[in-house]
Structure 1
């Protein structure tokens, strides 16, 4: 049986769509459809049920995929094995949020970069990053959402602690963390919000988790980069909720003040996401493993 047909079949099974599989394989959609029909004729069984939103594998299709996918991935690994010693000289297409990628991920990859790995980065929101990864535009993505389906494989990377901070002048005006602990969210009503989006995603989550309440004001400042949010807070613009890794230096230097230290702080999990089967490629596997090891120290 033609291995190319099996490879196309597994890609369609993982992608859930002829169109998406065609993009991943670098083929036209009619070519993918033709290959699947050819395989179905050879087997004498339908492998997929066609629908308006993609395809669903039949029982036969699921069984075939589970039997052959590990072997096809192993063949890919074998054919790429001769590249292992030179894998760090290949290009890694990395996608993630700009702050986390800049502050955590790229510095962690520095030893591999020093050995010759080339890195090309793309930034954006989680949904956009996962779409680009599924389409083959990226090799590895860092997201705060675990993707669904068999096309993408996610591994938890690390948890990010969120901290409620403000500048020293606002902290003094409020009476410090003791006043916030005593009065709760009411103590913060006069302080302007600084956020990354009009929907107040970080503040809303913190308010719900710590205060069991919803914020009642809109943001005074919207800055789409968390580093800009931090700069506004240290300059005295108001309060914000930020990842601890991003604001720890400002807290230690006295440029910002943590207004609360809740027993269970809000956390957000980052995932390391790849297309299923691509960890057989040595340069992706090495970067993936390196980041997992590095995250233990974050």
Structure 2
């Protein structure tokens, strides 16, 4: 009877053979070096020699040398160097498509170097909007913790969080938009509806005006940011016009925006999930109920190269299932 390590070694050997078969045509006669291919795939996914070096535990000059070595062996340029990062050349797209599945499978079979069965798995680094994390994600993580998952949660805005994902600082990011490019895998997570709300006192003062958008010009506006990204989108989608306003209060925290409006400061636009309890209790009043409210789809984005980390898949699947009830 063969032990587990023997089976793992044989599986790894078979997968390495598959990789060789997939690229035998393009580099016939060239010795296969899985380390070069692994470095190539990491650079391809992160779009940066620096980020790839950090993920691989190598120096940036070593990554650069390995990529140049592979380019010489292939006789083709793989990346175009830019001021910030690199862009894959057309041939790199084809090479990545050939090796990504077997190379990720090899990482899964081999597992982390030097790992032992009794060694705790590495934490899963999850990031996303602070409000969604605190209101929807964190109240439901108990089943994951019971299974031995360790979470490191980081709040923030989507753009810098995606940069952190590419650089290897996060494993999963809840993004407020689908990331561009083919290097990141993004799955639709949930749709958030935006609602126009105010305190009961302001709702009573407004009454039922024929032109709500015009009537609100006399009401203080509380917003997430000076450029009114959420409120402007609501105005454009629902009222079909451009909002030109100076907010009375700004705070880059939607929970704080909600608190100010509950306190009677004025009106705002919030995701419905964030103020559902206040709407149900009467602490906030829905000022408008359009047939076609603005909807924004959130995406769950996974860092490339995490296929060998079982807890990343566990957290991903848990979030995709739990989001149905958000």
TM-score, normalised with respect to structure 2:
0.84
Once the two structures are overlaid, the 10-residue window that deviates more, 111-120 or 35-44, is 35-44
> What is the alpha-carbon root mean square deviation over aligned residues?
2.3
Task: Tell me which of 141, 153, 158 is aligned to 1:121.
Answer: 153
Task: Tell me which of 215, 218, 240 is aligned to 1:190.
Answer: 218
Give 2:174's aligned residue.
Answer: 142
Give 1:240's aligned residue.
Answer: 268
Give 1:287's aligned residue.
Answer: 315
Larger radius of gyration: 2
Matched, 1:296 2:324: yes
Give 1:33's aligned residue.
Answer: 64
Matched, 1:21 2:52: yes
From the superposition, tell whether residues 159 and 195 of structure 1 become closer, same or farther in structure 2 (CA, over 3 Å). same
C-alpha displacement of 1:96 = 0.9
Matched, 1:70 2:98: no
Matched, 1:132 2:171: no
2-structure distance, mates of 1:25, 1:68 = 17
Give 1:222's aligned residue.
Answer: 250
Q: Does the CA contact (< 8 Å) of 1:16 and 1:56 recur in 2?
A: yes
1-structure distance, mates of 2:67, 2:179 = 26
Q: Does the CA contact (< 8 Å) of 2:42 and 2:305 recur in 1?
A: no
Structure with the higher fraction of residues in strand conformation: 1
Structure 1 stretches lacking a partner, 5+ long:
none
Q: Does the CA contact (< 8 Å) of 2:108 and 2:309 recur in 1?
A: yes
Once the two structures are overlaid, the 10-residue window that deviates more, 20-29 or 160-169, is 20-29
Give 1:212's aligned residue.
Answer: 240
2-structure distance, mates of 1:15, 1:217 = 40
Q: Does the CA contact (< 8 Å) of 1:24 and 1:136 recur in 2?
A: yes
Q: Secondary structure at the match of 1:230?
A: helix
Give 1:155's aligned residue.
Answer: 187
2-structure distance, mates of 1:89, 1:43 = 37
Task: Tell me which of 202, 208, 219 is aligned to 1:170.
Answer: 202
C-alpha displacement of 1:55 = 3.5
**How many equivalent pairs are there?**
294
Once the two structures are overlaid, the 10-residue window that deviates more, 133-142 or 13-22, is 13-22
Q: Does the CA contact (< 8 Å) of 2:199 and 2:266 recur in 1?
A: yes
Structure 2 stretches lacking a partner, 5+ long:
1-31
Task: Tell me which of 92, 104, 122 is aligned to 2:136.
Answer: 104
2-structure distance, mates of 1:184, 1:38 = 65
Deviations 1:117-169 (A, max 9, x none): 22111111111111111111111111102112233211110000001000000
Q: Does the CA contact (< 8 Å) of 2:46 and 2:52 recur in 1?
A: yes
Give 2:4's aligned residue.
Answer: none
C-alpha displacement of 1:115 = 2.8
TM-score, normalised with respect to structure 1:
0.91
